[in-house]
Amino acid sequence: MAPGIVDPPQTAPTSDFAKASVGPKEAFIGGPQVFNKTAEEQGTEKQPPATHPKYLPVWDADTIYPPLEPFTHYEHGKDADPMSPELFHEATSVTELTPSTGSEVRGIQLSALTKQGKDQLALFTAQRKVVVFRDQDLADLPIREALDFGSYFGRLHIHPTSGAPKGYPEVHLVHRGADDNTAMGLLKSRTNTVTWHSDVTYENQPPGTSFLYVLDTPTAGGDTLFSNQAEAYNRLSPEFQKRLHGLRALHSGHEQAQNSKSRGSIVRREPVTSVHPVIRTHPATGEKAIYVNPQFTRHIVGYKQEESDFLLKFLYDHIALGQDFQARVKWAPRTVVVWDNRVTAHSATLDWANGQRRHLARITPQAERPTETSFEAHPEKGSELTENLVNGKNGVAT
């Protein structure tokens, strides 16, 4: 995209907003505020202390990680029984957030899932795109156990610029404490705080099944928005779909690293770029999905600047406007949200201003290098899958 749009919003997706909110060395880019209180100190003022202090972020400037090595990802969703018996046998309710996108599950404990249950979780998440689990114990487990749980789904990603709980670099933290003026800073130059993205798509093997769990949340606000990128693909005309197939886009982590540096914060690994297909295929469902996002995608390979900008702008607008293929997740204590980063985009909303703490932890298993399969004239497969689930064909009372 055009130079100039890569600034503050680009730092948002991986919660650079949030991490700017604590720690003496942090100040949000574009905002005048300098945060010179620790998260614990903030707790003594406008808001109670963090309920999970072991999850407060630290920025380890001394540890530099080497480039990520390629690895072979095993997609557990492929092994899953599509009826999901082990995942749902204790479920008390499974409801849809919207018909196409998102489900909410009650009554099961993710940390107690068997291997088969985890396989089914991977598949169900790929099918529904985002799944909200209430009353979970993940945040109360030792952090190592939470990471062990997540590592079943893929090699755990270490974020290059985010704060992490001391000793657990694989946890990516979203934290906004009292006196955090991030949203105000952002709104000086933007009309809203929405920053659609899929996580770290600049990596060669970006994340797949991803976990975000809440530690503290404001009483209202701070919802997370999800867009169903497979349904976004299905909505396009076959002719337009055909045009997108075969295209590849450049994704870059350089701007995020630069933003971090310019705030005086850390870069734990040298930034990279990757070229990925614009339309990728999910390895377990076979669904095709649009795989570009305004935070990390820079350019359509082989296109001239204006051509690339034009096409990407259309795709970004299509994703943002598609409220009929999106879902909005409301956080509540003990909520874990699982999404498939290969077939979704998401955005935080920074819409509360009462100083209440918002604190979440992300566990981010990496997946396969994105691949494309060729255009098919009848791409309704994904909708059929969704219909089966909506109609209870996964064996669960809804």
State the residues that interact with Fe ion by CB under 5 A.
13, 199
Smallest gap from residue 329 Cβ to ligand AKG (A): 8
Residue 359 pairs in a beta bridge with: 175, 216
Q: Is residue 156 at the binding interface for ligand AKG, with CB under 6 A as the rule?
A: no
Closest CA to 199 of 295, 101, 287: 295
Of ligand AKG, Fe ion, none, which one does residue 6 interact with (CB within 5 to 8 Å by kind)? none
Q: Is residue 224 at the binding interface for ligand AKG, with CB under 6 A as the rule?
A: yes
Locate tokens 């700017």: which residue?
20
Q: Nearer Cβ to ligand AKG, position 364 or 386?
A: 364
Q: Is residue 11 at the binding interface for ligand AKG, with CB under 6 A as the rule?
A: no
Residue 179 pairs in a beta bridge with: none
Q: Is residue 362 at the binding interface for ligand AKG, with CB under 6 A as the rule?
A: yes
Question: Considering only residues 86, 180, 199, 216, which one is a binding residue for ligand AKG as defined by CB under 6 A?
Answer: 199
Q: Nearer Cβ to ligand AKG, position 174 or 230?
A: 174
Q: Is residue 348 at the binding interface for ligand AKG, with CB under 6 A as the rule?
A: yes
Of Fe ion, ligand AKG, none, which one does residue 155 interact with (CB within 5 to 8 Å by kind)? none
Q: Nearer Cβ to ligand AKG, position 15 or 297?
A: 15
d(CA 145, CA 111): 9
Token pair in block for residue 123:
């598949």
Q: How far apart are the first and last CA of the chain?
A: 43
Q: Nearer Cβ to ligand AKG, position 130 or 385?
A: 130
Q: Given the DSSP bridges, would you call strands 103-106 and 130-133 parallel, antiparallel or unpaired?
A: parallel
Query: Do the beta carbons of residue 173 and residue 164 sit within 8 Å?
Result: yes
d(CA 305, CA 327): 32
What residue type is assigned to position 287 of the chain? E
Q: Nearer Cβ to Fe ion, position 13 or 117?
A: 13
Q: Can you say how many angstroms the Cα of residue 61 is from the centroid of all Cα atoms in its chain?
A: 24
Question: Considering only residues 8, 9, 10, 15, which one is a binding residue for ligand AKG as defined by CB under 6 A?
Answer: 15
Say which residues have a Cβ less than 8 Å from residue 15's Cβ, sequence separation at least 6. 162, 172, 173, 174, 175, 348, 360, 362
Smallest gap from residue 266 Cβ to ligand AKG (A): 17
Residue 197: what are its φ and ψ, rounded to 5°? -165, 160
Q: Is residue 212 at the binding interface for ligand AKG, with CB under 6 A as the rule?
A: yes
Smallest gap from residue 303 Cβ to ligand AKG (A): 28
Q: Nearer Cβ to Fe ion, position 136 or 344?
A: 344
Longest C-alpha distance within the chain, in Å? 61
Q: Is residue 22 at the binding interface for ligand AKG, with CB under 6 A as the rule?
A: no
Overall residue count recorded for the chain in this entry: 398
Beta strands in 75-197 (DSSP E): 93-96, 103-106, 130-133, 164-165, 171-176
Which stretch, 3-11, 13-21, 45-53, 123-131, contacts ligand AKG (CB under 6 A)?
Answer: 13-21
Give contact residues for ligand AKG (rule: CB under 6 A).
13-15, 174, 199, 212, 224, 346, 348, 360, 362
